[in-house]
Amino acid sequence: MIVLNRIWLKPLIVLLAVGLHGDLAAAHGFGQRYDLPVPLSIWVIGAGLTILLTFILASVFTRSHSGLQPFPRVNLYRWRIIRISSHPSILLLIRLLSVSILVTILVSGFFGSSNPYQNISPVLVWVIWWVGIVFICALVGDLWALINPFLMLFVWIQRFTIKAFQVHRFGLNIPYPESFSMWPAVLGLIGFFWAELLWGGGSEPFSLAIIVTLYGICTLLGMYIFSPNTWLQHADPFTLVFSIFSRFSPLEIRVKRNHRSSNCNLQICRFSIEDCVNGPMCITHAHPKQIELNLRIPAVGLLEVERVPLSMMVFVLILLSSVTFDGFLETPFWFGILDRTLDGEIIAVGHIAFILFPTIFCLAYLSVCWLMLRAAILAAGGLDKLAIKHPSDIACSFVLTLVPIAIAYHLAHYLSFLLITGQYVVPLISDPLGLGWNLFNTADYNVNIGVLDAKTAWYIAVATVVFGHVFSVYIAHIAAKRIFHDKRVVFWGQIPMIILMVIYTMLSLWILAQPMVG
């Protein structure tokens, strides 16, 4: 069978396990496929009906909520133990660990073994960072904002330069062009997903170290030219990904509106309805007593912004479609396409699919938003009775309601990869360069490839996908109340989006099922 020359992200788990254990089959490292107790079609239809039922229940039981009242929050800083855990010295230790991991990636990549299975840098980048940090940001809070090693390096360089050379400031602080918006981050995200899904060099430690170095230089230069907060929040794709996912998390750092920084020029902050949440500039300039570390209901952070910029809307759609495309590459349907493709054309076919998939995804979403506006106009009795006038306004107002779907798919798709492949950090931490060391006496650790079987993974995937779409339906309903106001318009205006969510739920479950169930 012809196979696309993809990055090692998925094959790593199979190749490592085959090399060390010999008898492992594919399918995300599961030893065998799981035979469902009922046909897959029943699971898929049941998931779709669950989403439809959620919409009906939300329409019935949330009628009293206008979508404008604040959701309940608990300020964790009222407890002393939480305040102690946020002490600057503790935060410094965490950041030092983050920088040391970055140094390890670069040193092992440049000077370690060229074999990706004997070098720690690929595992740290693709498993611990890309998968693990996303999990934490989505389920706990924005960890990346706390440990970003490139930001810490810039801060240390800034402090050293100001102190050593007796200058008043470090950096050009050129105003960020309004027209740029978040489009640089969109381009960066496209480039990253191309590298993850189509580029074969990501498995090579040396190539990976070069890419990380180039990214670091670009990030440091961007922070120097425009200021750290401005660059990271507008042009850095990873800061934006982690920030978007953390809006789903149960933890937030909130600065009351009357204490927001007048120097804050972040576009996303301008669209905030109430206070500034996780805004680095506002947090920097606010008095410590005005900052809250809140425990909140999951997903309500996605309602803090009433309408996002067009560039951020495109960013979220590319994020969602690319994660789905990653799963699509493991389906028999895709392998059937590759079987019919000539060897010389296979790379071209992969790139065409890489372009078409998000394009069709974006067009489908925009079409649904157009249908939502038409349905709302019919329900309201005319466009003049609506506060929102254009499909793009609906698209930018509802796109964050799709984030729980992206999170759910990411969790379901990568859970087994994280739990199984992530264990290779244990032996590699003793020999990060692949030189035969045993620094921490863990080099002989045997990875437990049975930590998650196909049956358990399937039920987790079903629950995750369904719950993610349920969250999306609920916050979409709240967003609709905030935009359309009238009960009749709210109900009928959501119908096209609910149909899209039902179809996408069923498609996601079908894609996830392909590598693991019979």
Taking the C-alpha atoms of residue 518 and residue 502, their distance in angstroms, rounded to an integer, is: 23
pTM as predicted: 0.86
380-395 pLDDT per residue, tens: 888 887 878 889 999 9
pLDDT at site 62: 66
In terms of DSSP H, where are the helices of 22-133? 40-61, 80-85, 88-111, 120-122
CA distances from 387 to 63, 267, 374 (A): 19, 22, 14
pLDDT at site 30: 41
Q: Measuring CA to CA, which residue among 276, 280, 274, 204 is closest to residue 236?
A: 280
CA distances from 343 to 5, 7, 195, 200, 422 (A): 11, 18, 21, 16, 33
Place of tokens 């490139």: 150
Place of tokens 């007048």: 262
Taking the C-alpha atoms of residue 54 and residue 397, their distance in angstroms, rounded to an integer, is: 21
For the ranges 67-76, 129-138, 472-481, the maximum mean pLDDT occurs at: 129-138
pLDDT at site 8: 39
Report the pLDDT averaged over residues 116-133: 92
pLDDT band at 277 (very low <50, low <70, confident <90, very high): confident
More confident residue, 82 or 316: 316
Q: Measuring CA to CA, which residue among 11, 18, 10 is closest to residue 447?
A: 18
Place of tokens 């890489």: 354
**pLDDT score of 27 more than 70:** no
For the record, the structure tokens of 109 come out as 């990549």
Report the pLDDT averaged over residues 5-23: 38
**pLDDT score of 9 more than 50:** no
Do 9 and 126 contact (CB within 8 A), yes or no? yes
Taking the C-alpha atoms of residue 507 and residue 509, their distance in angstroms, rounded to an integer, is: 5
For the ranges 6-10, 216-220, 247-251, 291-295, the maximum mean pLDDT occurs at: 216-220
Residues 6+ apart with CB under 8 A from 299: 247, 248, 404, 471, 474, 475
**pLDDT score of 226 more than 70:** yes
Report the pLDDT averaged over residues 60-78: 70
Residue type, 458: W
350-378 pLDDT per residue, tens: 889 899 989 999 999 999 999 999 999 99
Taking the C-alpha atoms of residue 488 and residue 28, their distance in angstroms, rounded to an integer, is: 46
